[in-house]
């Protein structure tokens, strides 16, 4: 087998469609940088260059590369039970234990877990759950989900629709039923002299204005990352999230917090929701959930939504064939 750099780059150009890539431009540049190994916070390319991985993979390798204990526990689990579905009244020991642990770690009230394989799938699932919840509550007209400029919630058609306009314009995205407001981003703000707290409240007020514009009786949920990754790591003023929560409660709108890139210690807390005292109705987890070692995500479902779906909904007709993952995360 020819593993030379030139052969691998040619094969990559011939056969591999990369995400978020201009393929013609990549070919003109001579092809991809090929990563061959990693350890700790560093990666090495095929030419032997050592590179500090400042992005932690794709904001996901929270505990670093080369953690042998994770490889060992994954190997043991795969030899015992590599996969079994959790459809049709079935469970696995790891899925039960991980669900229990996530309920312990996440904000109070998020007492139910739905597993998927990626953040995109989890956010797609949440969008369906949100609309199903309102159908069961006799308010099926509540269909609109509000996201934000620069928001990123995934690449499935639904998740890309929740995301900001930079994800729109290809393949029929966005779908109907999605709307967007400004991000709490001070760069280029109309009033650069406005203090941070006043700016945060004004940015949050955009949500109330949009709800009133659309009609509160038609709005299902608001979606946001505690700190936005797309657009340049947008850290909101401390006044922003309290005002967002006040508005959601005022109009009965479900609050969905996407912790895919901010969860599992990235901000110094288990979840960034702790920094801003956010109490979401639903929360999206992925990436750091396995430190990128296995594809897995989770939807944390609050009691308000779960109680309705469990007691009024009958069979929940959505599901993803997640692996029988080992119980990876432990307390520090």
Q: Would you state the pLDDT for residue 188?
A: 72
pLDDT digits 0-9 by tens, 269-282: 999 999 999 999 99
Question: Phi first, then psi: what are they for 116, rounded to 5°?
Answer: -145, -170
257 and 295 Cβ atoms separated by less than 8 Å? no
pLDDT < 70 positions in the chain: 1-2, 323-332
The bridge status of strand 297-302 relative to strand 110-116 is antiparallel
Domain boundaries in the chain?
A: 5-68, 77-312
Under DSSP, the state recorded for 263 is T
How far from the centroid of its chain's Cα atoms is residue 117's Cα? Answer: 11
Range 77-312 has CATH code 3.40.640.10: yes
> Which H or E element spans position 256?
strand 254-258
Residue 63 CA to residue 39 CA, distance in Å, equals 11
Q: Would you state the pLDDT for residue 187?
A: 84
Q: Would you state the pLDDT for residue 291?
A: 94
**Exposure class string for 135-150: b at 16+ Cβ within 10 A, else e:** bbeeeeebbbbbbbbb
Three-state SS for 214?
A: helix
Q: Which CATH architecture has domain 5-68?
A: Alpha-Beta Complex (3.90)
Q: Would you state the pLDDT for residue 3?
A: 79
pLDDT digits 0-9 by tens, 312-331: 998 888 887 776 665 444 44
Which two three-digit tokens encode residue 20? Answer: 């978020």
Q: Would you state the pLDDT for residue 330?
A: 46
Q: Would you state the pLDDT for residue 329?
A: 43
How far from the centroid of its chain's Cα atoms is residue 281's Cα? Answer: 15
Q: At what angle do helices 196-214 and 240-251 cross, to 10 degrees?
A: 20
Residue 194 CA to residue 196 CA, distance in Å, equals 7
Q: Would you state the pLDDT for residue 317?
A: 85
Q: Would you state the pLDDT for residue 318?
A: 84
Q: Would you state the pLDDT for residue 84?
A: 87
Query: Is 52 exposed, middle or buried, given 0-12, 13-18 or 19+ CB atoms closer than 10 A?
Result: exposed
> Which H or E element spans position 8?
helix 5-15
Q: In what order do the strands lie in the sheet with 42-45?
A: 35-39, 42-45, 50-52
């Amino acid at each position: 087998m020819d593993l030379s750099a030139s052969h691998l780059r040619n094969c990559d150009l011939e056969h591999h469609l990369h995400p978020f890539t201009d393929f013609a431009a990549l070919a003109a540049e001579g092809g991809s940088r090929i990563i061959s190994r990693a350890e700790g916070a560093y990666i090495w390319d095929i030419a032997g260059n050592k590179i500090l991985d400042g992005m932690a993979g794709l904001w996901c390798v929270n505990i670093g590369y080369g953690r042998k204990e994770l490889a060992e526990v994954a190997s043991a689990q795969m030899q015992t039970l590599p996969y079994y579905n959790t459809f049709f009244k079935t469970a696995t020991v790891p899925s039960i234990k991980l669900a229990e642990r996530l309920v312990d770690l996440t904000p109070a009230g998020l007492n139910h877990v739905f597993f998927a394989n990626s953040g995109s799938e989890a956010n797609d699932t949440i969008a369906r759950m949100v609309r199903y919840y309102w159908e069961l509550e006799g308010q099926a007209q509540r269909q609109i989900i509000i996201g934000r400029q620069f928001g990123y919630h995934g690449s499935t058609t639904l998740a890309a629709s929740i995301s900001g306009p930079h994800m729109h314009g290809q393949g029929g995205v966005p779908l109907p039923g999605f709307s967007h407001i400004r991000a709490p981003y001070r760069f280029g703000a109309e009033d650069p002299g406005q203090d941070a707290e006043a700016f945060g409240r004004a940015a949050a007020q955009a949500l109330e204005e949009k709800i009133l514009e659309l009609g509160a009786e038609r709005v299902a949920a608001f979606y946001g990352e505690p700190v936005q990754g797309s657009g340049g790591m947008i850290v909101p003023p401390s006044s922003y999230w309290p005002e967002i929560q006040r508005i959601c409660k005022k109009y009965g709108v479900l609050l969905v917090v996407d912790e895919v890139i901010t969860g599992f210690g990235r901000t110094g807390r288990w979840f960034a929701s702790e920094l801003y005292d956010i109490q979401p109705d639903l929360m999206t987890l992925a990436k750091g959930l396995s430190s990128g070692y296995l594809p897995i995500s989770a939807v944390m479902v609050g009691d308000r939504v779960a109680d309705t779906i469990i007691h009024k909904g009958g069979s929940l007709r959505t599901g993803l064939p997640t692996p029988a993952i080992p119980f990876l995360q432990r307390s520090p």
